[in-house]
Chains A and B, each alone.
Chain A
Amino acid sequence: CSQWDGKDTSLRPRAPLAEQTPESLYAAGIESLRQERYVQAIEYFDTVEREHPYSTWATSAKLMSAYSDYMRNRYTEAIGALDRFIQLHPAHRDIAYAYYLRALSYYEQIVDAERDQRGTEIAMARLQEVINRFPESSYARDARLKMDLARDHLAGREMNIGRFYQSRGLYSAAIGRFRRVVEEFQTTNHTPEALHRLTEIYLALGLTEEARRTASVLGHNYPGNPWYQDSYALLVDGAQPAAQDRPGILRRAWNSVF
């Protein structure tokens, strides 16, 4: 039989990455991105950048490798790559997207309202940057939406701490926290509850006049809101508080596990 010289092309791996042209490498990267094989995509894009640093493909490759890192939840690497991209190519065609992707990388790292909220504050600053630099872009619209969600988080933290102090009877501490929500987070949907909590506290302190005034502001701004119904019930005896749609303790235990 013929001497098999091992030249069968299918066995030989494709030309080692280094010699491939930037276009084919970039296209291969996009292809593996589509198949969500991000590690491989990053490898392709990095090769483009390392072997052909001067081709215009390199700049797009840098952006795409940051995007792949983002998709793999490796936010710190993505942020690092994007910082470098923004510094090197401030006038690049897709600079808006780079800022947006960096803001998203910070946003994705937000943990729930019970824990450290420094990440939320940084994410809000980055989102605000996207809105300031590229006001009309579609990214700005999405950034505004995310800003509200992040602001909602910060308000949620204040409310948690406020309720913590109120449940222990430390009313002076609780007032401070709910006041901060009313003053600095009016646009979030926590404001009605904050106003109601203030009404509860002022009543408990015997400052009925102050409680009445707070409840009237709540009623004026959020007429149909169940929280106003609760405040009203407190001030006008006989009125019914909003339905306690609080699930029973068993249900809550079950929910909290699954």
Chain B
Amino acid sequence: CSVFEAPPVQRGNRADPELLAQLTPGVQTQADVQALLGSPTATGTFDRNMWYYISSVTRMRPASHFTVEDRRVIAMRFDEGGTLRDIREVGQDDMRSVDMVGRTTPVPGTERTVLQALFGNIGRVGAGGLGSETAPGGGPGR
């Protein structure tokens, strides 16, 4: 019954099919698409002319991460002039389930054990490059 059901939560920028229908390659420019659908969820990592509208619906699930349903990815390609060249929706079958590599790049200072976390801090990085003998100036007039 509905008491046990978790409500769907809309994630990302869901490009509305009706609005998408109004886009035809070769006509709209980036500004038009931005006005119609809002700014893209992501652009190509090294290519400003690829726009992606990514959205999904998540639902809380007992005893695990929430489920991700109805993931929708719209890819748009613009030419140098900024006019829309190609628009396509990624098929569900192209989406592969990729499990993340377990390794992480260590950040200096976070490899602290519990005891270190309790008592040490980031560790003294070189005592200020100064032994007490080479005190600055060592007093006036020297």
Interface residues of A (CB under 8 A from B): 23, 26-27, 30, 33-34, 55-57, 60, 63-64, 67, 70-71, 73, 93-94, 97, 100-101, 104, 107-114, 138-139, 142, 146, 149, 152-153, 155-156, 159, 163, 166-172, 175-176, 179, 182, 189-190, 192-193, 195-198, 200-201, 203-208, 210, 213-214, 217, 226-227, 230, 234, 241-242, 244-246, 255-258
* Total of A-B residue pairs, C-beta within 8 Å: 180
Q: Which residue of A lies closest to B97 (CB)?
A: A204
> CB-CB < 8 A to A196: which residues of B?
101
Q: Tell me if B's interface is mostly helix, strand, loop or mixed.
A: loop
Nearest chain B residue, comparing its CB with the CB of A92: B137
Q: How large is the interface on B (under 10, 10 to 19, 20 to 34, 35 or more residues)?
A: 35 or more
B128 & A207 in contact (Cβ 8 Å cutoff): no
- Asked whether A113 lies within 8 Å of B107 as measured between CB atoms, the reply is yes
B141 at the interface (CB under 8 A from A): yes
Within 8 A of A (CB), among B91-142: 91-92, 94-98, 100-105, 107-110, 112-115, 121-122, 124-130, 132-133, 135-137, 139-141
CA distance A207 to B115 in the complex (A): 45
Most buried by A among B46, B91, B113, B128: B128
Give A192's nearest chain B residue, CB to CB.
B105
Say whether A213 contacts B46, CB under 8 Å: yes
New A-B contacts (16) at CB < 8 Å, excluding given A169-B65, A190-B105: A23-B139, A60-B135, A112-B109, A113-B107, A152-B108, A153-B108, A155-B107, A172-B42, A175-B42, A189-B105, A192-B105, A200-B98, A206-B92, A208-B94, A244-B102, A257-B114
Alpha-carbon distance A32/B44, docked complex (angstroms) = 61
Instruction: Report which of B44, B47, B107 forms a contact with A156, defined as CB distance below 8 A.
Output: B107
Q: Are A112 and B107 in contact (CB under 8 A)?
A: yes
Give Cα A171 to B95, complex, Å.
12
Alpha-carbon distance between A31 and B104 when the two chains are bound, in angstroms: 47
Residue B41 interfacial (CB < 8 Å): yes
B residues within 8 A CB of A214?
A: 45-46
Chain B residue nearest in CB terms to A70: B128
A107 to B124, CA, bound (A): 10
Q: What residues of chain B lie closer than 8 Å to A163, measured between beta carbons?
A: 100, 104
Most buried by A among B66, B92, B140: B140
Given A139-B129, A204-B95, A205-B71: A210 and B101 within 8 A (CB)?
A: no
Supposing A70-B128, A108-B122 touch, asked if A230 and B101 sit within 8 A by C-beta, the answer is: yes
Q: How far is the CB of A257 from chain B (nearest CB, A)?
A: 5
Contact B128 A101 (CB under 8 A): yes
B136 touches which of A33, A60, A73 (Cβ 8 Å): A60
Cβ contact within 8 Å between B98 and A71: no
The answer for the CA separation of A215 and B75 in the assembled complex, in Å, is 19
Contact of A169 among B44, B45, B46, B68 (CB under 8 A): B68
Q: Could you write out 9 A-B pairs with CB less than 8 Å apart?
A: A70-B128, A71-B128, A100-B129, A149-B108, A168-B65, A172-B13, A182-B45, A203-B96, A206-B92
Instruction: Name which residue of chain A comes closest to B12, CB basis.
Output: A172
Residue of B42, B45, B125 near A217 (CB, 8 A) is B45
**Inter-subunit contact B66/A168 (CB<8 Å):** yes
The answer for the CA separation of A203 and B139 in the assembled complex, in Å, is: 65
